[in-house]
Structure 1
Amino acid sequence: MEFQSTPADVSVKIFVASSNGNASDGPRLASERRITPSWTVLQTKSKLETMTGIPPSNQRLLMKAPGRENQWIEGDDRIIGDWQLMRGCEFEIHDTRPAAARPNFSDLSEVEKYTLPTSTYESLSDTVLSWKKSQKLGRFDPSARTPEEILSEQVEKDRTEIQRRGIELSKRAIILPSSPPHVRRGTIRFIGPVPTIPSAGPKPTSPDGPAPLWIGIELDEPTGKNDGSIGGQRYFTCPQNTGVFVKPEKVEVGDFPPLGLDDLEDEDMEEI
């Protein structure tokens, strides 16, 4: 019996075509695999499944070899060596499954994520929290004011401004800063807290806690932002886009009569 040598394995680069089937858009996977020329095409696809996750029945192989035209490898029972494997060959694998049937490994929304329990985090000694504790920063500062104290200070400041500026319901006022001809004037319709206005500052720990004060003004012209309601809560009533809420320090009370038709015509003439 004559001895027959085993064909030498050939190192082949493996690429998976992009999801639209065009590898020029960039492969989704690039690797390298030693291929034995005596394998059948089906055996080769089975080996490649462990690398790509694509079932053999859904693989279509395109072989690229230096100096030769690209060839589709067809026939699962044929020997892969029939395509004359050589150094520098590449297999481009096309997934024939519909896009909806392919697993999306880039979608992390369904991946279970580990969350460190709060009690465990607080017990660690090499965290930002432990550093803040040791440095007595933030809420660990014994001299730091509580959110209620900060809010109470703000409310007291607002009350002082309201009293100092003579802000009262039904009084006429302008919104600062104002300079002719862009002077927004109107009538004060509301004075009090507006909890539906989002605040970036400290939040009260209870609904009955202190809250900053706002001034609601019905403007003479539709240069406002609401109709006296905000966040689904009504505080006063006025036509749409004539209502506005401002802080007390932005209000100047005075003898600011509503603009009449003659005033509007004069302003238009000044802009000509």
Structure 2
Amino acid sequence: MASLLQLPSDDSVLLIVTHSNVKSFSPEVRFSLQMSVEAVKEKLWKKCGTSVDSMRLELYDDAGSKVCDLNESIRPLGFYSPLDGYRLHIIDLDPSSVTSGGWLEDTSLVEKYTISEEAYNKLGTNFRKFKETMVSQNPTGNDRKLPDDYMEDMCANIKVGDRCEVEPGAKRGGVKFVGRAEALGPGFWVGIQYDEPLGKHDGMVKGMRFFDCPPGHGAVVRPDKVKVGDFPERDPFEEEEI
């Protein structure tokens, strides 16, 4: 029989590891043949959660036949002559182990936290209150429908063909569309073709064509974001003054 001193220091073996309680646990783990059975258990404990004292190990060959039990803690693994592809099976002997009952695999077994309606409403901050605040601050929400003429007055001085600057970012371009766009929401909108590829589309939004422009140059925004006037296209090679 091979002894600890007879085993080359660089000998190792790649074993498939399975577990009695965790059916999805089947990694390939490389072990040194110099390791004692107790050291093997220590390594496996860190991977599967079964304590060393509650662990029994069985060795199976690549055909599925049992070779032996690894029941002597001080023996080196090499004493049992495992080969690459053999299976090392962990049996968890602790009935109250964290691996028992399928807790590590079946999330339906985990007790869900519940709270009464009264206690939930007493919370200083909760999702329901957050949602109500957001709706109150967002007039486009379903609870506060905008009128069909929303921001129509801001379009009075905006017409197709105007040069413009759009906030945020002072993006420059030309006006390509002014009017209602029901697909985007009630009220008036302005379609822009940016001078640079700073947009999101080519003038088609949610399957509707509002105008034509090169891909990535188009945007449709509310008129309060648009300022028309003498906004020539910026020279990309123009150096900033120091």
User: What TM-score comes out, normalization by structure 1 length?
Assistant: 0.44
> Between Structure 1 and Structure 2, which shows a larger proportion of helix residues?
1
User: What TM-score comes out, normalization by structure 2 length?
Assistant: 0.48
> Between Structure 1 and Structure 2, which shows a larger proportion of strand residues?
2
